[in-house]
Amino acid sequence: MKQTRAIVITGNGTNCEMEAAHACRLGGFDETVIAHIAEILSGEIRLDDFHFLNLTGGFLDGDDLGSAKAQANRLKHAAVSGSGEKLVDQFTRFVADGKLILGVCNGFQLMVKMGMLPGFDGEYLNQTVTLTHNDSGRFQDRWTYLQVDSASPSVFTRGIDKGIYLPVRHGEGKFLCDSDATLARIEAGHLAVLRYTLADYAEATLEFPANPNGSINAIAALCDPTGRLMGLMPHPEAFVHYTQHPRWTREKLPEEGDGLILYKNAAEYVRKNLI
């Protein structure tokens, strides 16, 4: 039987690759590889050999041109050594082959600035949304309640009842669209997978601090129409075990943290559809 394979890209300022790889392994992937971007650009490692791509949190290139913008430019224009192809060709082929991509925090910023999300009409290199500075003007490090859209096509959130509880840690997490028309298409397609909410998960909120950045329509996560590509500002890899919960010594909690289901769903999808 073929193995399910996940890849986590590191380098140029990422800092969550170990946690993301651990989450993939706990989620059920047979093999998880942490690859430096230089290994991919050199041709030593190819995205084609994997089923699940993780773009992790951090501070790509120091966020000097805005969060993940420099890396987005690099990935869209850099050539793979000795192959005659651009790296972006591997990304678009990865999507065309029906595989999964999850971008978390800085990885979500990278996906929207490359144009991979929302991915309308199969266009994955045309930017129409962005993530910009929090309304507070400050870096936010706190836990958030997230309402799940049960009608979303997202592969990653299948089986989640009402919502999940995850930490955020970002300075540029405010979700915005280039037009009302883009936002309307996102809402009509149920592509806003997660929204910031209160503890009862009943209603999305724009109020700080429950909404830590001021995102339009309280959007915390976005997927493409296929549900196979998803980006989110909260960190699912940072809550895969109950001891990561801020109140784990004071409450009786399930062993698995809320974030683990995203990786379990990814592994199940790969087993059923890609191998």
How far is Cα 262 from Cα 156, in angstroms, rounded to an integer? 5
Q: Work out the angle between the directed axes of helices 17-27 and 260-273 (0-180°, nearest 10).
A: 60
Please indicate whether residue 237 is annotated as part of the active site. yes
What's the pLDDT band for 66 if we cut at 50, 70, 90?
Answer: confident
Clarify whether 235 is annotated catalytic.
yes
Active site residue 133: no
pLDDT band with cut points at 50, 70 and 90 for residue 82? confident
- Residue 151: what residue type? A
Rounded CA separation 87/28 (Å): 28
- Note whether 269 and 6 are within 8 A (CB): no
Query: Exposed, middle or buried by CB within 10 Å (0-12, 13-18, 19+), for 79?
Result: middle
Lowest mean pLDDT among 49-63, 70-84, 139-153, 247-261: 70-84
Could you tell me the residue ranges of all domains in the chain?
A: 5-273
Catalytic residue among 16, 105, 177, 223: 105
State the chain's maximal CA–CA distance in angstroms. 57
Q: What percent of the chain has pLDDT over 90?
A: 95
What's the pTM? 0.97
Task: Give the architecture-level CATH label for domain 5-273.
Answer: 3-Layer(aba) Sandwich (3.40)
Distance CA 26, CA 37 (A): 24
